[in-house]
Amino acid sequence: MGPVSNEHAWNYLFDMDGVLVREQHIVPGADDLVSELRENGVPFMVLTNNSIYTPRDLRARLLHSGLDIPEESIWTSALATAQFLQTQRPGGSAYVVGESGLTTALHNAGYVMTETEPDYVVLGETRTYSFEAITRAIRLVEAGARFIATNPDESGPSAEGRLPATGAVAALIEKATGRRPYFVGKPNPLMMRSALRRIGAHSENTIMVGDRMDTDVLSGLEAGLQTVLVLSGISGRDTAEEFPYRPTKVIGSVKELVGRTGDPFAQEG
């Protein structure tokens, strides 16, 4: 795709892992980019499909990496899930398999956590999936609770290697119950749209910057955003060519956006 002309200033949505940080280390140039956006008053949100942490936790982790992101500029699949359920069934109840990021978000949305006839079973990311909790989730879904999962990622990285993630455990529950969950996080464009609402932005002048074709670029595309693929994370240049859709622009890393946030699609030279 060619450069996009736009008379409006751009807003930005950034995926977090592989784009701004990598294994708790800052991607070179990410701090300069965030400083530029904040100094110029450019609305932006940092998105993550990981539902383990609250925005406050994530702010502290990012600060430790050398990246100063305000708490209100962090949007997680847990927050998107809580907002979705709040609009679907205000003041409802849920049985939650997940960590504080998810339980806090649901609690703040006015939800009651219960094991007795919940409206929803909500599955999120956790490092300690218990067989007992999964069994209870299966029985509650069989009894009529609606099945929601924060994100479809089947696995995630760790220092020791890959870890099973929400999508893998969701598949286990789906196999046992025959009920497919509704996934709120990327690539569901619902997560993009809820983030856009948070910053009061419109899709036509917002850019999604991500490192994955199958989640970031796809959800950005489906939400009507311009998309920038960075090669500092999951997808390589060859990987990008394998998909039937393309990002608006491919760059090495966010460092290439520094000094160009006003018009990142302008022809260079």
User: Amino acid identity of 20?
Assistant: L
Contacts of 126 (CB under 8 A, 6+ apart): 52, 97, 98, 99
Decide if 78 contacts 103 (C-beta within 8 A): no
Q: Which tokens is 100 given?
A: 């504080």
Across the strands, what pairs with 13?
45, 208
* Tally of CB atoms within 10 A around 12: 24
Q: Which tokens is 28 given?
A: 């070179």
What residues act catalytically?
15, 17
Residue 117 vs residues 93, 142, 178, 228: alpha-carbon distances, Å: 8, 11, 19, 44
Neighbour-count burial of 64, counting CB atoms closer than 10 A to its CB (0-12 exposed, 13-18 middle, 19+ buried)? exposed
Q: How far apart are CA 97 and CA 99, in angstroms?
A: 7
Neighbour-count burial of 244, counting CB atoms closer than 10 A to its CB (0-12 exposed, 13-18 middle, 19+ buried)? exposed
